[in-house]
Amino acid sequence: MMIYLDNAATSYPKPETVINGMVQCMKDYCANPGRGGHALSVASGKAVMEARETISSFFGIKNPLQLSFTKNATEAINVGIKGILKPGDHVISTSMEHNSVVRPLKTLEKESGIEVTFIRCSEFGELDIEDLKKNIKKNTKMIVSTLSSNVNGIIMPVGDIGKVAREKGILFLLDASQGAGTIKIDVEEIGADLLAFPGHKALLGPQGTGGLYVKEGIKINTLIQGGTGSHSENLFQPDFMPDMLESGTVNTPGIIGLSLGIKFIENMGLDILKSNKFALVKRLWEGANEVKQIKLYSKNDIHKNSGIVALNFEGVDSSEVSYVLDKVYGIATRAGLHCAPMAHETIGTRASGLVRFSIGCFNTMEEIDHTIRALEEIGANLK
């Protein structure tokens, strides 16, 4: 029996309804959505549109046509950043970002004359909103922030960021890769002008899915052009959402799966899932905290943790611990830098990495207790 605690990478398992819905889609009606008038193509198109509505509603997006489907959050973030920033623009981000934000920004800084400021966060990854305010300049066009760190689960003050952005007339791109499916997101309330999310993490959809919401009225360029099934006679890309950002055939079964993942969350209740998840985080955190060699990098606070317990055994390489957890105890975690070197720099684990335990909605208290016993044994063996 394996204990899967790598849900921040990809959630596992998926609800049965997700897989069954994908199978039904592929078996019963999966022709090309929006590319023909026959019964199957219409059925596919209708299913994709319904999924667009379900997912939009989940995020408080009023016009579902402003939501485009992408292959993953990374694509969505890249399109959101590069479709908007122009030479001379300044962009502010945080030191807790994933490489999906850092790498495009560093590339723009190097190649396209765009200024980038990463606000240094605290040793727990907390962002000081005053620091952010101080760094706003006349040419600040956009703020990009993660909803929650994929390294230690710290939750960013995204409502405050949205407020500042709105006051200053700056665009706010929210990367909800960690947190969507756990923390309630309402783009209007938060004040997010752009929202990027993956389907395969806490939203419980399959890999190969994600999305980018772009607030109505924001002008965005495309990175990719191609067939959209609309305005076929035009040799240039159409300029309306979502078609302009959805070139080529979309992942219909994947989108259906993502929509069913979100329906599962809605049926269970987002708040209940969140408090259940935090109960497991709390137990694991407190159990780990009893092991004297362990140093914890996550907060034991539901308002500051989206579902991760990040730790190290002092003086032991994180990869070794993760290896032992897998091989000896059947516990799946992720060690190393988690594609977020700047975040590790921030919390002081750039050299060692850390062991990340990321909780999913199918984990149980028994699994957590088993994990705590494993940590205790590893600690005992280190004595």
Q: Which residues pair with 356 in a beta bridge?
A: 310, 334
User: Are 260 and 18 spatial neighbours (Cβ–Cβ below 8 Å)?
Assistant: yes
Stretch of 93-101, 134-142, 160-168, 362-370 contacting a second copy, by CB under 8 A: 93-101
Closer residue to a second copy in complex, CB, 247/300: 247
Shortest distance, position 63 Cβ to a second copy, whole Å: 24
Would you call the peptide bond into 242 cis, given omega within 30 degrees of 0 as the criterion?
A: yes
- CB-hemisphere CA count at 13 Å for 334? 17
Q: Which residues ranging from 337 to 366 are in contact with a second copy (CB under 8 A)?
A: 337-342, 350
User: x/- binding map, residues 254-293, to a second copy, per CB under 8 A?
Assistant: x---------------------------------------
Stretch of 1-9, 184-192, 270-278, 298-306 contacting a second copy, by CB under 8 A: 1-9
Q: Which residues ranging from 140 to 179 are in contact with a second copy (CB under 8 A)?
A: none
Report the residue from 64, 153, 181, 336 that binds a second copy according to the rule CB under 8 A.
336
Q: Is 112 helix (H, G, I), strand (E, B) or coil?
A: coil
Region of 24 (left: φ > 0; alpha: ψ -120 to 50; beta: rest) is alpha
Residue 328 found at the interface with a second copy (CB under 8 A): no
User: x/- binding map, residues 52-71, to a second copy, per CB under 8 A?
Assistant: ------------------xx
Closer residue to a second copy in complex, CB, 9/129: 9
Closest CA to 3 of 299, 322, 295, 314: 322
Closer residue to a second copy in complex, CB, 4/213: 4
Closest CA to 368 of 333, 320, 321, 327: 333
C-alpha distance from residue 81 to each of 90, 106, 278, 300, 315 (Å): 11, 11, 32, 33, 39
Per DSSP (E only), the strands in the chain are 3-4, 67-70, 90-94, 115-119, 140-146, 171-175, 194-198, 210-214, 294-296, 308-313, 331-332, 355-358
CA distance 260 to 269: 14
Stretch of 94-102, 263-271, 278-286, 306-314 contacting a second copy, by CB under 8 A: 94-102
Shortest distance, position 159 Cβ to a second copy, whole Å: 26
Closer residue to a second copy in complex, CB, 63/112: 112
Shortest distance, position 273 Cβ to a second copy, whole Å: 20
Shortest distance, position 10 Cβ to a second copy, whole Å: 4
Q: Which residues ranging from 210 to 249 are in contact with a second copy (CB under 8 A)?
A: 210, 223-229, 232-237, 247-249
Residue 334 found at the interface with a second copy (CB under 8 A): yes
Q: Which residues ranging from 289 to 318 are in contact with a second copy (CB under 8 A)?
A: none
CA distance 230 to 73: 25
Specify the length of the chain in residues.
383
Residue 207 found at the interface with a second copy (CB under 8 A): yes
Stretch of 87-95, 162-170, 187-195, 205-213 contacting a second copy, by CB under 8 A: 205-213
Residue 324 found at the interface with a second copy (CB under 8 A): no
Supply φ then ψ for residue 97, to 5 degrees.
Answer: -75, 155
Residues whose CB falls within 8 Å of the CB of residue 122, separated by 6 or more in sequence, listed in order = 128, 346
User: x/- binding map, residues 98-137, to a second copy, per CB under 8 A?
Assistant: xxx-xxx-xx--x---------------------------
User: Are 359 and 308 spatial neighbours (Cβ–Cβ below 8 Å)?
Assistant: yes
Shortest distance, position 130 Cβ to a second copy, whole Å: 26
The CA angle 372-335-97, to the nearest 5 degrees, is: 115
Shortest distance, position 44 Cβ to a second copy, whole Å: 8
